[in-house]
Chain A
Amino acid sequence: MLTKVHMEALSPTMEEGQVVKWLKIEGDSVSEGDVLAEIETDKAVMELVARGGGLLRAVLLSEGGTAPVGEVIAVIAEANEDISLFEKQDQPTSPATTTEDTPLSGEVLAVPLSQPEQSGEKVVAEKGPGLEGQRIKSSPLARKLAEKSGLELQSISGTGPAGRIVRKDIEAALNTQAATVARPIVSVGGPEEYEDIPLTQMRKTIARRLSESIGPVPHFFLTVSVDMSKWTEARSQINRMLDTHGVKISYNDIIIKATAVALKMHPECNAHWMQSSIRRFNAVHIGVATAVEDGLITPVIRNAHSLGLREIHDEVRRLAEKAKNKMLKPEEYTGGTFSISNLGMYGIQEFTAVINPPEAAILAVGSLESGQMKLTMSCDHRVIDGAVGARFLKTLKEILEEPAAGFI
């Protein structure tokens, strides 16, 4: 008897699943209840079991491929049965565009990675009658525009009747990510400059749910207190050595350098949110928020990780001067991978800075008081989770508290 293997709803909110691994291959004999594949849902990696016995005649979705719930992804049949109706899909199917608010806010923050959320419980993935009917209401034009601009409807909230996504919602979404579009990334090196990481089911869910909760960029903030006393000493020594050159390294230069070193060790914080992927950069280009007469601009210290303190110092001065005179060229204020905003010189003890999209984080630097300084990192939760940000800050704190750490 022919048994279709469907992508089953292996979590209550699952809308599509990704095949992590096929545990049976075409031609294998299969009994009802055998585990056929590991499927990554929006929450965890779950087992997909056979609903019938026979030979696994066709695997229609390759490992790594994604299919919406309900889609046939394999066929179990007897050797002589005709399965010509089922064709292999060469490419993973595009993600389903079927989702709507499911009343589960917050739940995603506490999901286990790669662990069945209901271990022991047999996965009975009856497709709920409501699941199929769930779709995002959107106007045809909105769908066309979203597709054209690579936006996922899931990430947009509709303002039309019954939450319909209409043209102005797409335009608003595009405006908020205008930075992405308007600021081309200057390609400094070859293609190894960055790596695009496909979004996992969990990452997609995190991105969608957090965007819904706060706004286009779901910020959260991490603050750490840093003891700068050793660097105070080291800085004095360095500046004594540079005295004859008339150069005076600032704390800001040190923070830029330390941040760049820390980012090299935590590339997951040196990233852009690209809507359909996360772009993780190898090089560190640090935007330095700089106040100018009628606003602010963020000149970019390129390859800050490979520059010495003095080079950083010179570059900051050069760019700040150009910024003041409005002489910055676009390539000098675009393409940052991470930003720093320092209000310490104004006596601000600590503050939160607003992320400069598509960058995933910004570091807010407070004033130095009795050798202590507070750093607050604003993180885009779609890219950086709490523990990831915390680990980065821990490294940064170590480098700033122990000058030698930067040379490890």
Chain B
Amino acid sequence: MAEITYRDALNQALVEEMERDESVFLLGEEVAEYDGAYKVSKGLLERFGDKRVVDTPISELGFTGLGVGAAMVGLRPVVEFMTFNFSFLAIDQLINSAAKMGSMSGGQVTAPMVLRGPSGAALQLGSQHSQACEAWYLHAPGLKVVTPGTPADAKGLLKTAIRDNDPVVFMESELLYNLKGEVPDGEEFLIPLGVADLKREGGDVSIITHGQMIHVALRAADQLAKKGLEADVLDLRSLRPLDVESILESVAKTNRAVCLEEGWSYGGVGAQVTSILMEEAFDDLDAPVLRVTQADVPMPYNKRLEAWAKPNVARLVEACEKVCYV
């Protein structure tokens, strides 16, 4: 097992899958000559040539449509969005084409493809470039949505996503690209979609989260432990399909839950999880489920306001204490 960055883990996954299956190819803005805006595709052009590593014009709707078409005829495209903020230009292809192809053709035509790139806020990129976009794509049946928060999960999940026969929205994070972590070796290191991972075990409260927020959750869990509260940190990893069983298992143990997500609360991931808890775990709950999310405003550019708007450790600790009645 080697310790590598999240970025290199993604790069390894791409290399391994492109080596394994020549129908896999990468396209997007600056993925080839420039090695990708965040260098995830470093060395791929040299290794696989310009037929399989394709620089596109700044035209999200166009190249995403190209990807859907390629997937329909048997290829396995990996479409990179420089950031998911730009994916909104292509949302018609994602929702109206990729997500619906299988259903509308009665399964005759599918769109096995991966749409990947960073999502969520970095630092002071303004409201148009700081959005956590999970909820937009979570809403539509037909898309799978995956949000790895560690290098190992990034590699294992990307490899599985590329092999999956449905369109998979694969959301990375700018702030995680440099994160280092142990990543198992081997070309068959695959993490199934729809399986959550308990990143930390405790019995008092379940923090249900995903993506880069797991690190906020783990720091909060450290602080809570000092105060005598042990938190389960459940990393959903994949939001669709969702590992409902693990959520219920954790809450059955702790009887209280706080949903943490980077995006807005309104119609967010936590809203869905909370609804499931109401329906499936009502009698296990000793306190109302709380959510910690971004403030319900476009992300401010001002540094202090931005820090205030983002979900943070202090707010999460407070919410956990509240559901524990302390």
Q: Name A residues whose Cβ lies closer than 8 Å to a Cβ of B.
A: 139-144, 159-161, 166-168
Contact = CB atoms under 8 A, between A and B. Distances in A.
Contacts of A159: 325
19 contacts: A139-B286, A139-B287, A140-B282, A140-B283, A140-B284, A140-B285, A141-B255, A141-B283, A141-B284, A141-B285, A144-B283, A144-B284, A159-B325, A161-B325, A166-B287, A166-B325, A167-B255, A167-B286, A168-B325
Contacts of B282: 140
A167 B286 CA distance: 6
Nearest to A139: B286
The list of the 5 closest CB pairs from A to B, nearest first, reads A141-B286, A167-B286, A139-B286, A144-B283, A140-B283
Nearest to A160: B325
Mostly, the A contact residues are helix
Contacts of A140: 282-286
Q: With a 10 A CB-CB cut-off, give which of B283, B286, B287, B325 has the most chain A CB atoms.
A: B286
Contacts of B285: 139-141
Contacts of B255: 141, 167
Mostly, the B contact residues are loop
B150 to A, nearest CB: 32
Interface string B30-46: 00000000000000000
A167 B326 CA distance: 13
Interface in B271-289: 282-287
A399 B287 CA distance: 56
B326 to A, nearest CB: 10
Interface residues of B, number: 8
A139 B282 CA distance: 9
A167 B205 CA distance: 13
B286 A142 contact: yes
A166 B287 CA distance: 8
A140 B325 CA distance: 15
A143 B286 CA distance: 9
A168 B287 CA distance: 12
A41 B163 CA distance: 70
B68 to A, nearest CB: 45
A143 B284 CA distance: 10
Contacts of B325: 159-161, 166, 168
Nearest to B252: A141
Nearest to A166: B286
A142 B282 CA distance: 11
A166 B285 CA distance: 9
Contacts of A143: 283
Contacts of A139: 285-287
Contacts of B284: 140-141, 144
Contacts of A161: 325
Contacts of A142: 286
Given A140-B286, A161-B325, A167-B255, 17 more contacts: A139-B285, A139-B286, A139-B287, A140-B283, A140-B284, A141-B255, A141-B284, A141-B285, A141-B286, A142-B286, A144-B283, A144-B284, A159-B325, A160-B325, A166-B286, A166-B325, A167-B286
A140 B284 CA distance: 7
Contacts of B286: 139-142, 166-167
Interface string B283-299: 11111000000000000
A202 to B, nearest CB: 33
B297 to A, nearest CB: 28
Nearest to B284: A141
A174 to B, nearest CB: 15
A140 B282 CA distance: 6
A168 B286 CA distance: 9
Q: With a 10 A CB-CB cut-off, give which of A139, A142, A159, A166 has the most chain B CB atoms.
A: A139
A320 to B, nearest CB: 44
Contacts of B283: 140-141, 143-144
Q: With a 10 A CB-CB cut-off, give which of A140, A142, A144, A167 has the most chain B CB atoms.
A: A140
Nearest to B281: A140
A166 to B, nearest CB: 5
Contacts of B287: 139, 160, 166
A168 B325 CA distance: 10
A140 B286 CA distance: 6
A72 to B, nearest CB: 28
A233 B286 CA distance: 64
A216 B283 CA distance: 26
B282 to A, nearest CB: 5
B251 to A, nearest CB: 10
A110 to B, nearest CB: 37
Nearest to B288: A139
A144 B285 CA distance: 10
A159 B283 CA distance: 19
B183 to A, nearest CB: 40
Nearest to A167: B286
Q: With a 10 A CB-CB cut-off, give which of B282, B285, B325 has the most chain A CB atoms.
A: B325
A159 B287 CA distance: 12
Contacts of A144: 283-284
Contacts of A166: 286-287, 325
A278 B5 CA distance: 68
Nearest to A159: B325
A168 B283 CA distance: 15
A132 B284 CA distance: 26
B204 to A, nearest CB: 11
A153 to B, nearest CB: 14
A161 B255 CA distance: 16
